[in-house]
Amino acid sequence: MRSVEEQQARVAAAAVAPRPVRVAIAESQGLMCAEEVVTERPMPGFDQAAIDGYAVRSVDVLGVGSDSEDGGEISLPVMGVIEAGARTPSRLQPRQAARVQTGAPMPTLADAVLPLRWTDGGENRVRVLRGVRSGAYVRRTGDDVQPGDVAVRAGTIIGPAQVGLLAAVGRDKVLVHPRPRLSVMCVGGELVDVSRTPGTGQVYDVNSYALAAAGRDAGAEVNRVGIISTDPRELRETVEGQVNRNEIVVIAGAVGGAAAESVRTVLSELGDMEVARIAMHPGSVQGFGQLGRDRVPVFLLPANPVSALVVFEIMVRPLIRLSLGKRQPMRRIVQARTLSPITSMPGRKGYLRGQLMRDQDTGEYLVQALGGAPGASTHLLATLAEANCLVIVPADVEEVRTGETVDVAFLAQRG
């Protein structure tokens, strides 16, 4: 029986990021930048007012409002109003002021902006109540970025700030590593789609919907194929087609039983496929291989929806995150104190459902197990839906007592 870590290493070795593509910056969020974005012009491109007020020469208002004998108030004529976006150059004469809006270009000779609260707000003449130093409330040319600076580095995950910076330097498109394409399908003579009413012995196809949602949550571009035929010819054509157009393929229900055996026989014609027992529960029996001319990673998952989701979480999700260029492909792990005893299967690493919470007074993490006895309720999808974490129990631990500390993988939900 292979350890979880050994199987994860085999999977990680197959990670290949899709070829970079150029996309609109509005579509780049969450993707890894694949180029060094070098700025060609300064930002801001001109001296501009940082606040609403009056553009002045600081020497003209020096000492106003101070405690010195020559301090006090002065008034300056207002030459006009300069709005944000003004394109006509203007020049300030000595002992003049110009009303400016935030972002407006500074007139020539002006070196500071006098805040409105330090004036009487006059239109033709403004009474100055307090002076300003040179450079006050002015954004100088190139304060943010100089020509030749790298605005966004290759390998950076593009977030809101990076999108804003790309827009600020005039880039409408950027080269990124795209989301890996994931195909999800399932096999099983008992399955029907949710659009139909199950007959005797039939059940709804849960896996293709749940696993497709898990793939999107991990960051993949998902194609939910749904239920596929196990006829050898049709199966080969379907899988081969999906392998040729996706970076990752997941087939649920393809381990265990005679139908699964025939599926594996067909898949072995397309490349290397291995079904093995992994020292974990649930989902110990699972398959992994690389099929097609491009050796695309293909996963065979159990038919049990809970087991399938857990295997996806532990094996498939990290591969998606690696393909996206994430430095930390695994979920965040925290230590939590158990609020109830947990029983785990001996010799297998347990990934058991739980609810993670935090003590408001101490800040300590607490976890309530939602299951865990070997063979008990592992099929209950409703229980997994209530869980916000997986309690990780080492393979050599059969029982965790109340109050003991365990590792917990936090299943962060996207808002």
DSSP classification of residue 36: -
Number of C-beta neighbours around residue 343 at 10 A? 18
* DSSP strand pairing (32-33 vs 173-177): antiparallel
Domains delineated in the chain: 19-41+143-175 (3.90.105.10), 46-137 (2.170.190.11), 178-322 (3.40.980.10), 331-408 (2.40.340.10)
pLDDT in tens, 17-62: 778 899 999 999 988 899 999 888 888 888 999 999 999 999 999 8
Query: Which parts of 34-96 are beta strand (E)?
Result: 37-38, 48-49, 53-56, 74-82
Average pLDDT over residues 87-91: 88
pLDDT at 379: 52
* Average pLDDT across the chain, whole number: 88
Query: Which parts of 333-395 are beta strand (E)?
Result: 333-338, 342-343, 349-358, 365-369, 389-393
pLDDT > 90? residue 406: yes
pLDDT at 412: 67
Alpha helix segments (H runs only) across 183-316: 207-218, 232-245, 258-268, 305-311
DSSP classification of residue 25: G
Considering the entire predicted model, what is its pTM? 0.74
pLDDT in tens, 71-82: 567 899 999 999
Which of the four pLDDT bands, split at 50, 70 and 90, describes residue 96? very high
pLDDT in tens, 122-137: 999 999 999 999 999 9
